[in-house]
Amino acid sequence: MKLRTCTSSCLLALALSGLALPSVSQAASDKPAKTAKAKASKKKTKTPAAPKKAPIDYDGEFVNFGQWKEVKQFLDDLSVRQGFDRAELEATIAKTRYVDAAVQLMKPAPPGKPKNWQAYKQLFIEPSRINGGVRFWNDNRDALARAEALYGVPADIIVSIIGVETIYGANTGRFRVMDALTTLAFAYPLAPQRASRMEFFRQELESTLVYARQAGIDPFSLQGSYAGAVGLPQFMPSNIMKYAVDFDGDGKIDLRSSAIDAIGSVAAFLVAHGWRRDDTGPLAYPATVSSSGQWTRYINQGLEAKFRQQDLMADGIVSTSSLPPGMLFGLVDLQNGADATEFWLATNNFYAITQYNRSYFYAMSVVELGRAIKAARGASM
């Protein structure tokens, strides 16, 4: 979901949220028209260099994927559908390595582990991401203002997503995308929906090869998360092709080193997934629920704001804040382990963020980190 770079803090976050697997969604809206202002800003904002690390996060194991029946069929189909040379495809697959770390990270979480929003929140609403967000905003203020004007997505939400995903480019992942995707496409661990997950990763492997051909790059030069997500915003390869934009106007899309392209691409993705510029209020409103139990029918009703305020109130769901008239909402429950669950009435734009990662915890962490960064930036000016 998008599937993400997973550091030790990310793995802990997944456990606290009760998620076994971040979801992946992403693909290419048309590039925005290059305004005079956009053309004037050709110089890329480079992200600070991260400390030197090993080139990749694993040793890998040689497995002759090309001899696997399913891989042969995949290559046969791919050569026909996408016009690849069959022998070249086989030579490419022969270079990939099996990544056991990716397989282990995809295994379902232990059953019965309670979700804990407050613990999850502390991993992301913390000083390094807040202070880094202020710096990132200041360094890219013009691009963020342009994205907000063009797409209607506030700067604090864009900055927060990049902060949650990769700490503003400090941790974009050190797995070779070809290795990770080939492993997961053909050796996904035993788990519910294994077949559909393998099909998903096969599509992403195909997208990686097509994208590399279109961009004129070596597919093995792409590094990312254990699940194949790339760059500052952690887009899956298919989403780079569908939603990424050349926001710095240099004639190419570069999510790995152009903060400006990442900013425009995050905004474009959210708009393509339902963000509305006219919804200008809070993304979620705190709520209480009655003891009658009628409210439970609003839980797990899809990632969509579709309930009227009067219907929610009739079933004992009341916001502690004033709600905009005529707006639709969804009920979000943020469980806190043994402590009381938090309830929120979520708007359409909150649910647009869940299309980036299908998790209430994720979306609320984006909202709250963005709020904290905005406040810290305002206090420093």
Q: Residue-wise pLDDT tens for the chain (381 aa)?
A: 334 434 333 444 554 555 433 333 333 333 333 333 333 444 445 555 444 566 788 989 999 999 999 999 999 999 999 999 999 999 999 999 999 999 999 998 887 778 999 999 999 999 999 999 999 999 999 999 999 999 999 999 999 999 999 999 999 999 999 999 999 999 999 998 999 999 999 999 999 999 999 999 999 999 999 999 999 999 999 999 999 999 999 999 999 999 999 999 999 999 999 999 999 999 999 999 998 889 999 999 999 999 999 999 999 999 989 999 999 999 999 999 999 999 999 999 999 999 999 999 999 999 999 999 999 999 987
Number of Cβ within 10 Å of residue 315's Cβ equals: 18
Confidence at residue 111, expressed as pLDDT on a 0 to 100 scale: 78
In a domain, 112, yes or no: no
Q: Is 293 left (phi over 0), alpha (psi -120 to 50) or beta?
A: left
Per-residue burial over 205-238, b = 16 or more CB atoms within 10 Å of its CB, e = otherwise: bbbbbbbbeebeeebeebbbbbbbbbbbbbbbbb
Confidence at residue 381, expressed as pLDDT on a 0 to 100 scale: 79
Please, are residues 262 and 162 in contact by the beta-carbon 8 Å criterion? yes
Query: For residue 358, what is the domain's CATH number?
Result: 1.10.530.10
Q: How far is CA 75 from CA 86, 206, 209, in A?
A: 7, 9, 11
In a domain, 111, yes or no: no
- Nearest alpha carbon to residue 372 among 47, 16, 134, 169: 134
Confidence at residue 14, expressed as pLDDT on a 0 to 100 scale: 53
Burial of 257 (0-12, 13-18, 19+ CB in 10 A): middle
Q: What are phi and psi of 353, to 5 degrees?
A: -65, -35
In a domain, 147, yes or no: no
Confidence at residue 13, expressed as pLDDT on a 0 to 100 scale: 55
Indicate the DSSP class of residue 258.
B
Residues annotated as catalytic are 165
Q: Is 173 left (phi over 0), alpha (psi -120 to 50) or beta?
A: left
Confidence at residue 6, expressed as pLDDT on a 0 to 100 scale: 43
Q: Which domain holds residue 334?
A: 284-380
In a domain, 345, yes or no: yes
Confidence at residue 16, expressed as pLDDT on a 0 to 100 scale: 56
Burial of 103 (0-12, 13-18, 19+ CB in 10 A): middle
Domain total of the chain = 1
In a domain, 98, yes or no: no
Confidence at residue 8, expressed as pLDDT on a 0 to 100 scale: 34
In a domain, 343, yes or no: yes
In a domain, 346, yes or no: yes
